[in-house]
Amino acid sequence: MDISTLLGASPVMPVIVLDKVADAVPLARALVAGGIRVLEVTLRTAAALDSIRAIAAEVPDAIVGAGTVVTPADLAAAAEAGASFAVSPGASAELLRAGRESAIPLLPGVMTPTDVINALAAGYTAMKLFPAAQAGGIGMLKALGGPFPQLRFCPTGGIDAASAPGFLALPNVACVGGSWLTPADRVRAGDWAAITELARAAAALRLADSAR
């Protein structure tokens, strides 16, 4: 599955931080039950790669990827763990090159027009704007749409349930990333029903956007 198809599968890509592998499968099932299938498990904890393995093996309806990929070694480890895609907060020339050669697609992180040009020159037309709020948010995405009409973005960073619809209304936004679907206190409590409700509300954002 290419990255454009992945980005179109859910209006919101949850940014997931897992401290315990045991939480991975029930969390993924809760998100899928609410209509959110594309899941970004960040490589920020020791549990991340094993969590990706568990979700890939046990939740077939989920499309699990690895986030916080910053080196070619991270990318290789994510692919080996069973990730279907990878997401980076930024992108070196080395990582962009590795992404083109990888068995799984990479969504490279960009923040400036120069970052965008470098990623575009390396063959990428889908990118993660990060950190979106600090980079200028909706105004920045509108500005980037002029010189780069062929690109699609997944803005991430500082986006929540209230601001997500404004981003999703932009023609160059394929989806948004956010951590509000998996609040740490709900994950620690194992409150999977609450997470399913958050996912259901996030999945409905696509319907609200298409109705405008």
In this prediction, residue 200 carries a pLDDT of 97
Q: What angle do CA 70, 72, 78 make, to 5 degrees?
A: 80
List the pLDDT tens digit at each of the 212 positions of the chain: 799 999 999 999 999 999 999 999 999 999 999 999 999 999 999 999 999 999 999 999 999 999 999 999 999 999 999 999 999 999 999 999 999 999 999 999 999 999 999 999 999 999 999 999 999 999 999 999 999 999 999 999 999 999 999 999 999 999 999 999 999 999 999 999 999 999 999 999 975 554 44
In this prediction, residue 208 carries a pLDDT of 52
Domain count, the chain: 1
Residues designated catalytic: 40, 128
* Domain membership flag for residue 209: no
Task: Give yes or no for a contact between 128 and 151, defined as CB atoms under 8 angstroms apart.
Answer: no
In this prediction, residue 211 carries a pLDDT of 44
Task: Give yes or no for a contact between 195 and 34, defined as CB atoms under 8 angstroms apart.
Answer: yes
* Domain membership flag for residue 45: yes
Dihedral (CA of 80, 21, 55, 119) sign: negative
* Domain membership flag for residue 208: no
Query: In angstroms, rounded to a whole number, what is the distance separating the alpha carbons of residues 86 and 105?
Result: 6
In this prediction, residue 212 carries a pLDDT of 42
In this prediction, residue 166 carries a pLDDT of 96
Helix, coil or strand: residue 66: strand
Q: What is the pTM of this model?
A: 0.95
User: Where in the sequence is the domain holding 153, given as residue range(s)?
Assistant: 3-202
If one counts every other C-beta atom within 10 angstroms of the C-beta of residue 138, the result is 16
In this prediction, residue 61 carries a pLDDT of 97
In this prediction, residue 206 carries a pLDDT of 73
* Domain membership flag for residue 8: yes
Query: In angstroms, rounded to a whole number, what is the distance separating the alpha carbons of residues 164 and 171?
Result: 14
* Domain membership flag for residue 40: yes
What is the CATH number for 58? 3.20.20.70
